[in-house]
Amino acid sequence: MKPTLKRPLTYLLAGVGTVLPLVMHGPLAFGQASPSVVHVVKAENGYRLERDGKPFFVKGAGGDASKELLRDAGGNSIRTWGTDNLGPVLEQAQKLGLTVTAGIWLGHKEQGFHYDDPAQVAAQFETARKAVEQYHNSPALLMWGIGNEMEGYAKGDDPAVWTAVEKIAAMIKKLDPNHPTMTVIAEVGGNKVASINKFCPDIDIVGINSYAGGPSLPGRYKAAGGTKPYIITEYGQAGTWESTKNSWGVIPEPTSTEKAVSYRKTYEKAVENQPLCLGSYAFAWGNKQEATATWFGMLLPDGSRLAAVDTMTELWSGKAPSNRCPAIHTLKLTGPDQVDPGATIKATLDAADPQGDPVKVTWVLQADPDTHGVGGVTEASPPTYPDAIIKSSSRDAEVKMPGYGGGYRLFAYVRNGHNGAAVGNIPLFVKGDSDTPPTPSKKALLPLVVYDEGEHGNPSFIPAGYMGNVKALKMDPACTDNPHSGKTCLRADYTANDNWGGVVWQSPVNDWGD
């Protein structure tokens, strides 16, 4: 999973022999003279990290929210998904006394990267090499994170993928012996762990993104053949792909109060006192639109803390915050959740502040998207309907549903005036054949940025609409052949002598318009 992206490209068509280089924004220069020294050390029953000769247990998070808040909560590390903007990230971390796991973004097959293409793999390697040379002397650097879920979501046993990972890891060992190497996988199913054991001797640590399976991860990792130390690199409440749908096919979302319990369970059962575990990175330290407006965020867009932050503060520092977030006890409808167009529904809320402070509740009706991205893609925010809220208070709301059929969610945002908040929502369905009206088009600012150079992983738009002779299209998202700016560009080659091929960058996936 990944928080955001920026790279300028929306649509491309290639005719015979056409080569199109596309511009991306590159990282800032960075240099430091006093590197930290970090090693994985074999302990009596497992492993530990040592940083500058002292034991170091990772208490981290991944995301773009306040690093000062992370420090004050007892956190000691942040994770990136790529090296774009890594210089300023390392500099800020150093000032705050934090460390950084620097991600090196590796291509995903579903996004057009071909690990059987020597040119693409070589360009990716070269990008990684330059990043290591540029940033390895930072005193804030903790380790290198090579890739994120690039193995895919099935067996994950493609030797070409793991050979590419190993070559980068071996290169890092030569250029930067002061920092360990880690590669990050999506769960431990299939042959992923066995493939790392077989093909990647220069990988020191296995990073694992695990949500619903977080609490059971130590046993499952061992059963999969895991012997290297691990870090849980993403965790929280269950993902939508792991959750049960309701009667019309959408997934009810836990409240922020309920989600905090999931963070605690994973930490206490899979992170603390586990001989192979070197720490963890909670997700997401910030807010993103994925599945819903609030599914993965530990904070709201205005920076308000949710209960997951309070929980991690207690787990990291050993003491609860002095002022805790509000708690939602119940959020429910007084009638059915499937109604006719234009019907009025009523919802009740039981929420309270632990300190007894007054709370302010904001009710928002939002359309529920009927398609979702893959692999953590940040999605477009659905429209909201402010005029639908007829009456509201801190305990209930009366809402007139739109006159269009489809799915909606009624959100209750609870704030206590001390930067603490809670949020929950109720999925609703309006009967009828007509779909919700399309979101009004907005004029784009040019250049339209949909990719960055790798830090945050996935774009709002992804290359999903392939057309024509697609077998003749070869995509290189890390081309170093004369980029207009930055270190790389996006290149597309059409290799056939006839016919045509094309690709559309879409959001949502397979949305061809009218």
Label each residue of 90-124 as H, E or C: HHHHHHHCCEEEEEECCCCHHHCCCCCCHHHHHHH
Is residue 12 predicted with pLDDT exceeding 60? no
Would the pTM of this model clear 0.85, i.e. be above it? Answer: no
Q: Read off the pLDDT band of 461 (50, 70, 90).
A: low
Q: What share of the chain is helix, strand, coil (3-state, %, to 5)?
A: 20, 30, 50
- Burial letters 130-157, b for 16+ CB under 10 A, else e: ebbebbbbbebbbbbbbbbbbbbeeebb
What's the rounded mean pLDDT across residues 378-390? Answer: 87
Distance CA 248, CA 258 (A): 23
User: Which pLDDT value is given to residue 449?
Assistant: 65
339 membership: H or E segment, kind and range: strand 338-339
C-alpha–C-alpha distance, residues 417 and 245, integer Å: 35
| Measured distance CA(264)–CA(271) in Å, rounded | 10
What value does the mean pLDDT take over residues 465-486? 76
Amino acid at residue number 330: T
Residue 438: name the closest of 378, 383, 387 by CA.
383
The Cβ of residue 402 has, within 10 Å, a number of other Cβ atoms equal to: 20
What's the token pair of residue 232?
């849980």
283-322: pLDDT as tens digits:
999 998 888 999 999 999 999 999 999 999 999 999 999 9
CA-angle at 435, arms to 432 and 440, nearest 5°: 150
- Cα–Cα dist 19/407, whole Å: 43
What are the pLDDT digits (tens) for 165-213? 999 999 999 999 999 999 999 999 999 999 999 999 999 999 999 999 9
